[in-house]
Amino acid sequence: MKTEVLLTRLAIGVSALALALGFASLISGLDLGLDRPSIKKLLLAVVFCAALLSLFYGNVVYQLTRLGEIKRHATRRDSVSDREAFHAIERPAPVGVLVPSYKEQIPVVMQTLLSAALSEYPDKRVTLLIDDPPATSGADLVALNATRDLVAELDDFFGRAAHRFRAAAEAYDVRVTSASVVVESEREILAGLYQEAAALVRHLGKLYAERSQPAFAHADAVFARDVIHRLVREHREHAAKLRSVKELGSQQIRREYRRLATLFAVPIDCFERKRFGNLSHAPNKAMNLNSYIGLIGRAFRVERSRGNDPLLVECPENEADLVVPCADYVITVDADSIILPDYIAKLVSIMEADAGIAIAQTPYSAYPNPPSVLERVAGATTDIQYLVHQGFTAYDATFWVGANAVLRYAALDEIRTVTDERGHTVPVFIQEKTLIEDTGSTIDLVARGWRLHNHPERLAYSATPPDFGALVIQRRRWANGGLIIFPSVLDLWRGRGSRRAGGLEVFVRSHYLLSPALANVSLLLLLSIPFGREFSNVWFPIAAAPYYLLYGRDLVRCGYKWWDILRVYTLTLLLVPINLAGVYRSIEQIVTGRKSAFARTPKIDGRTAAPACHLLALAALLATAVVSAATNLWFGSLLFFGFSAVNAAFFLYGILCLIGWREALTDIMAGIGLATVPDDPAADLATELIEEPGM
């Protein structure tokens, strides 16, 4: 680790020195006067320097977060509680696991629910928040009923398993009362029960395998290895350990029975907010979560209303049709994600030990070994972001990453607001002012003095969009909102909240919010403006080189190859128009006050069509790079010629190999009305995943 720290510090120094020398050489080489050509050169110099400084900003932040991540990893202490420790606590904090879902496929939902239910913790319940329209018909109704049936099936399975182990624990209590406990016998009984637990987990794995599909094979491999097979192995090993232990005290025996009694005691249910007229129907994940969080710890009866949806009316528990138990912690897990068996115990123990933490998380990793090159490259950027987010915590600049997190209910309640929707007052815990609700809520919490924590261990995985069309929807949404939230970070710096953010924290947080605008506008300027030979300076590539060196090393640390950095850079270029579209939507919202439409990332069989406008923009950027290369070669600007030619090659490779020229041509022709796309239920669903605000 010392080597990596030294390399990172050296990289920062080399980049800063090379950039300074480059600017000094540029300024000294410009012959500026008061004539029009000189003014033009001055304007070009300002644009050029601003673009380079914006890119260098990202360079420095990456290297700083890398430094923070490495230091945290080197000083890491595995002091968090293990799963078994919670069974010694008389009343562990109750936990509610919420899985927001919209028209998900059964294997996707089943895998997520099973991973949450099998993540060991003695007092938890799992709720699937179904957001499908309840008034539906045809294939949609069949799919909705299949999801409901799946939840009922899993709840029944876990309920029957829990009853078996609870009965064994009660039988032990009877033996204790009658003073007929024989340690040797209890050892064998416990070992047999753990063997049963292993068999039950193995059976759940088989049930899932029967419903899985080839498209999920790489995700299934992780689920099977890190959840099913791991738990089967652990339960069997624990059974063998119990049989071999020489001494087994009464407290340990009681703890083992208590653990077994809660191992499968996981109520699994579903909730459909759109069935009720006085809950939010806003088409986004934040309000799906908010609707249920607002019910926690309360009881309701269902009142029918003429011609309208039923209403939930609060009432005493003994009169209730719906009782939502209290929860000290709320865990959110996206329906295309899984959490590992240690997830809940480790993260809850961190929050129990530190009452100032509002959110604890382990930013998700991409499923390894995906079937397509695009998915592999997009997954690589996700895994690099995992390291970056670990570095954020070193500077107290953690952002909530919404695919999974443990949320303290008291913290959510502190930032609670209300809004009016269709004549009803509905609560808002997780803000929905932007499409990046997790990022906005982060600033709300930090402004009130709460902290966020990234645990440096990979405990969660999430799906990566398998094709360019789905990736466009996801990344365009991610790029939309940072500019809107940025003023709130400045307010933190000015000390307008419960705490005042430090300069380094603001420096890091600001880049996270501004990078979609700064980096992509800068790349676009460098690709499209003919700056001329005066701006050609070898120090600038030298300043960029350390960043790519460290990025390549980090890719290797994450299990990728050095040369994957070339594909990552290609994807960065392909996403320029997509990110700029998200930035444009942010500016539009700032100017008009109208929120952007929420677009869910499609999780469907088949391919999601990419918007023709984005594909045409990529074609235009390719043409621009080719023309720029030719122009720079003609005028003898060899450095800019190399830059433009290399980028043209990357654009061409990306269109041919990451998107696919046939797919791109098909989507462009369909988008401009020169061809029709064959009827495809998957394509229809992808269209439905884009919803307008206020629907």
Q: What is the DSSP string of 595-628?
A: PPPEEPPP--SSPPPPPHHHHHHHHHHHHHHHHH
Residue 658 has pLDDT above 90, yes or no: yes
d(CA 519, CA 579): 10
pLDDT confidence bin for 342, thresholds 50/70/90: very high
pLDDT confidence bin for 321, thresholds 50/70/90: very high
Q: Of the candidates 434, 466, 498, which is a domain's last residue?
A: 466
The whole-number average pLDDT for the span 400-429 is 93
The whole-number average pLDDT for the span 320-343 is 96
What is the distance, to the nearest Å, from the Cα of residue 585 to the centroid of all Cα atoms in its chain? 21
pLDDT confidence bin for 201, thresholds 50/70/90: very high
Q: Which two tokens stand for residue 59?
A: 């360079």
Q: Do 284 and 222 share a structural domain?
A: yes
Residue 34, pLDDT score? 52
Angle ∠(280,592,513) on CA atoms, nearest 5 = 80
d(CA 479, CA 580): 8
For residues 579 and 475, the answer to whether their CB atoms sit within 8 Å is yes
Q: Is 264 contained in some domain?
A: yes
Q: Do 177 and 65 share a structural domain?
A: no
What number of CA atoms fall less than 13 Å from residue 103's CA on the CB side? Answer: 22
d(CA 363, CA 281): 28
Residue 166, pLDDT score? 96
Over residues 525-583, the pLDDT tens digits come to 999 888 878 888 899 999 999 999 999 999 999 999 999 999 999 999 999 999 999 99
Q: Of the candidates 432, 466, 500, which is a domain's last residue?
A: 466
CATH number at residue 109: 3.90.550.10
The whole-number average pLDDT for the span 419-440 is 89
Residue 73, pLDDT score? 81
Number of domains within the chain: 2
Q: Which residue has the higher pLDDT, 541 or 249?
A: 541
Residue 423, pLDDT score? 87
Residue 3 has pLDDT above 80, yes or no: yes
Q: Do 487 and 437 share a structural domain?
A: no
Name which of 244-248, 310-314, 440-444, 511-515 the model is least confident about. 244-248
Residue 72, pLDDT score? 86
Name which of 94-98, 348-352, 623-627, 678-682 the model is least confident about. 678-682
Q: How many helices (H) and strands (E) does the chain have?
A: 23, 17
Q: Do 267 and 158 share a structural domain?
A: yes
pLDDT confidence bin for 428, thresholds 50/70/90: very high
Q: Do 624 and 514 share a structural domain?
A: yes
Q: Is 388 contained in some domain?
A: no
Q: Which two tokens stand for residue 451?
A: 């902290």
The strand ranges marked E within 551-689 are: 598-599
Residue 82, pLDDT score? 64
Residues of the chain with pLDDT > 70, as a percent, come to: 93
Domain around 253: 83-364+401-466
Q: Which residues pair with 405 in a beta bridge?
A: 332
Residue 694, pLDDT score? 39
The whole-number average pLDDT for the span 243-251 is 84
DSSP 41: H
Residue 176 has pLDDT above 70, yes or no: yes
Q: Do 38 and 157 share a structural domain?
A: no
pLDDT confidence bin for 44, thresholds 50/70/90: confident
Looking up tokens 């339960």, which residue turns up? 235
Q: Is 136 contained in some domain?
A: yes
Residue 695, pLDDT score? 36
Residue 519 has pLDDT above 50, yes or no: yes
Residue 477 has pLDDT above 80, yes or no: yes
Q: What is the DSSP string of 383-409?
A: HHHHHHHHHHHHTT-----TTEEEEEH
Write the CB contacts of 341 (distance below 8 Å, at least 6 apart in sequence): 83, 118, 119, 120, 227, 230, 231, 234
Looking up tokens 């462009």, which residue turns up? 668
Q: Do 567 and 522 share a structural domain?
A: yes
Q: Do 349 and 201 share a structural domain?
A: yes
Q: Which residue has the higher pLDDT, 432 or 416?
A: 416
Looking up tokens 């020169």, which residue turns up? 674
Over residues 457-466, the pLDDT tens digits come to 999 999 999 8
Residue 685, pLDDT score? 42
Residue 365 has pLDDT above 60, yes or no: yes
Of 167, 78, 165, 156, the residue nearest 117 (C-alpha): 156
Q: Do 488 and 349 share a structural domain?
A: no
Rg of the chain (C-alpha set): 28
Q: What is the DSSP string of 226-260?
A: IIIIHHHHHHHHHHHHHHH-S---HHHHHHHHHHH
Residue 594, pLDDT score? 87
Q: Which two tokens stand for residue 262?
A: 């809660």
Residue 352, pLDDT score? 94
pLDDT confidence bin for 679, thresholds 50/70/90: very low
Q: Which two tokens stand for residue 563?
A: 């040369």
Q: Do 411 and 556 share a structural domain?
A: no
> pLDDT averaged over the chain?
90
Residue 226 has pLDDT above 70, yes or no: yes
Residue 46 has pLDDT above 80, yes or no: yes
Q: Which two tokens stand for residue 470?
A: 């789905």
Residue 33, pLDDT score? 54
Q: What is the DSSP string of 171-203?
A: HHHHHHHTT---HHHHHHHHHHHHHHHHHHHHH
The whole-number average pLDDT for the span 142-168 is 96
For residues 429 and 416, the answer to whether their CB atoms sit within 8 Å is yes
d(CA 69, CA 83): 26
Q: Which two tokens stand for residue 489?
A: 């970070």
pLDDT confidence bin for 35, thresholds 50/70/90: low
Q: Is 378 contained in some domain?
A: no
d(CA 676, CA 686): 16
Angle ∠(207,212,218) on CA atoms, nearest 5 = 120
Q: Of the candidates 466, 501, 521, which is a domain's last residue?
A: 466
This prediction's pTM: 0.92
Q: Do 417 and 487 share a structural domain?
A: no
pLDDT confidence bin for 600, thresholds 50/70/90: confident
Q: Is 196 contained in some domain?
A: yes
Over residues 60-96, the pLDDT tens digits come to 999 999 999 998 887 766 545 566 777 777 789 999 9
Over residues 113-148, the pLDDT tens digits come to 999 999 999 999 999 999 999 988 899 999 999 999
Q: Is 372 contained in some domain?
A: no
Q: Do 454 and 490 share a structural domain?
A: no
Phi-psi map region of 310: left, alpha, beta (phi>0 left; psi -120 to 50 alpha): beta
pLDDT confidence bin for 448, thresholds 50/70/90: very high
Q: Is 670 contained in some domain?
A: yes
Q: Is 370 contained in some domain?
A: no
pLDDT confidence bin for 249, thresholds 50/70/90: confident
